[in-house]
Amino acid sequence: MFEGKDLRFASAGVGGSVALADAMVIPLRQTAVRSWIDRIGELDLVPDLGEDVGSIRWFRGLGTLTALSICALALLPDFGPVFGAQPALPTEAEFEEARGQMIMPIAFGSDSGKRMAATDTVVALAGSPERPRIELTATLGRGDSFSRVLQRAGVGGSEASLVTSMVSSATPLNGIEPGTPIDIVLGKRTTKNVARPLESVAFRARFDLNLEVSRSGNSLQLIRKPIAVDDTPLRIRGVIGDSLYRSARAAGAPASAIQDYLKVISGRTSLSTLRSSDEFDIIVDYKRAETGEIKVGNLLYAGVDREGRSAIQMLKWTVGETSQWFEASGVGESRGALSRPVNGAITSGFGMRRHPILGYSRMHSGLDFKASYGTPIYAVTDGTVAFAGRKGGYGNFVQLNHGGGLASGYGHMSRFAVTAGTRVRRGQIIGYVGSTGLSTGPHLHYELYRGGRAVNPMSVKFTQRAQLSGNDLARFKGRLNSLKSVKAGAALAPLRPTERAQEKPKREIDRLTQNMDGRPPRG
């Protein structure tokens, strides 16, 4: 029995050991049940599409990308306008109400403000009152008439003619500068069908004269009010330095006077020869009125004081009808090439050529200028008309004698502007371009003669000299000494007050000013 029990125990022990192992493994294999959230969290919805291309995992990622792209496109915002509440259009009554309160520009009629129709309480006036007097200012325009200016201002025709006659007796009407203001005062008229009577007309007739026409009783009287004028020339001196122009401008010389000065000096000597230590001397016509106005005129004297060399002294002097610059010795000289007789290009030069009409070669003793029919022809320099008429193949021909054996000819003219014996000046019109004579078309044939023989006009320069003598030279010397005796800056000295300037002022502000500084008011 013992053995049998042992065997059973042993077998039982073996079996027990196996059951114990199984009993221990089974609980370990049993796990907790997972929820669907955990399972979704374990899904790899966004895998790297660069890995496992073509696998289920890769297609799952492609589906996720496609779904997200569709959602993004579906949620794309609209960039169209956002419409707000639109106000209602105003009615016609509301529009007229707003229009009546706004200000319209002049271009649209400038109608503004509300208007109301007249009621029964409004009574029309039998007649409107007139102003007792009218004060206005008229301006004399260029090319205008003094009488027309008065009539346009409301002055009657008879009174305008009377005033014009009175003014012309005191000063030439053509001497009144354009732009002159004219103060006019018109009185009260008896009826509306007549012009207002003239009470006064006042204006500045000249730089040194004021004129006033005023009514005294039933007649008009002319009152002359002379203006004291100091005509001392303005003399400006200084050292040339680095630049003659800048030095003269710094000294106070007008720009126009400096330009004229440079032209005069350059005609006497080269500007490059002037040294920085030389002194310039400029005298300009200069006038000052007691009322404060200043009038700067033309250049009168141009000089240069040069160290160790003779000084340059040039004075502008008029001989006959021509103004010219003369040296201190009385010798005048103007140099330079002859001016062009017409504005056009040279089509044929001086020398042998085949004649376009005659068909053989012969001497072409001048220049042909291209110009259209009727173009003005100018004198190349001062001279006298020696011939004006028909001359063979030249057609209508003009010849000018310039003195010193020099003459010029102009052919093929359409018509003349001068006659034989007429004195002409440089740049004066002597005729017009045509095609008379042996000519194939409108042009100017221009010739230049020296001693009666034709010469090439392109090789000749003209020099005009004049010599003063006798009384002319004495007057010239006196004028030169008078200008050189003027001190530099003397024209800028204060003016002495005249009796007119010491008149009792009319305005209170002028009285106060005179009492404060002790000087009479300017005006």
**321-325, 385-389, 469-473: lowest mean pLDDT where?**
321-325
Structure tokens at 265: 């000096």
Query: Per-residue pLDDT for 500 more than 60?
Result: no
Average pLDDT along the chain: 80
Q: How many CA atoms lie within 13 A of 523 on its CB side?
A: 11
User: Phi and psi of 51, rounded to 5°?
Assistant: -115, 150
Is the pLDDT reported for residue 269 higher than 80?
Answer: yes
Q: pTM (2 decimals)? A: 0.51
Share of the chain above pLDDT 70, in %: 80
How far is 284 from 233, CA to CA, in rounded Å? 6
pLDDT at 30: 53
Instruction: Dump pLDDT digits (tens) for 201-235.
Output: 999 998 889 999 999 888 899 999 998 888 899 99
Confidence at 301, pLDDT banded by 50, 70, 90:
very high
Q: What is the pLDDT of residues 146-157, one digit of tens each?
A: 999 999 988 988
Please answer whether residues 317 and 326 qualify as being in contact, where contact means their C-beta atoms are separated by less than 8 angstroms. Answer: yes
Question: Does residue 502 register a pLDDT over 80?
Answer: no
pLDDT band at 505; cut points 50, 70, 90: low
As a 3-state breakdown, the chain gives helix, strand, coil percent values, each rounded to 5, of 30, 30, 40
Supply the DSSP string of 242-277, one letter for each residue. Answer: T-HHHHHHHTT--HHHHHHHHHHHHHHS-GGG--TT
43 has a pLDDT exceeding 80: no
Cβ(489)–Cβ(251) under 8 Å? no
The pLDDT confidence band at residue 4, using thresholds 50, 70 and 90, is very low
> What's the pLDDT at 427?
80
For residue 487, pLDDT beyond 70: yes
pLDDT of residue 28: 46
Closest-CA residue to 46 (of 30, 32, 64): 64
Task: Provide mean pLDDT across the span 313-318.
Answer: 87
pLDDT at 93: 85
pLDDT reported for residue 213? 92
Cα radius of gyration rounded to whole Å, the chain? 53
pLDDT reported for residue 494: 80
* Residue for token pair 């009783």: 217
Q: How confident is the model at residue 12 (pLDDT cuts 50, 70, 90)?
A: very low
**Cα distance between residue 323 and residue 346, in whole Å:** 32
Residue range 239-263: mean pLDDT, rounded: 91
Among the listed residues 223, 216, 265, the one whose alpha carbon sits nearest the alpha carbon of residue 245: 265
Quickly state the pLDDT bin for 20 (edges 50, 70, 90): very low
Region 190-199: mean pLDDT is 86
Asked if pLDDT for residue 13 goes beyond 50, the answer is no
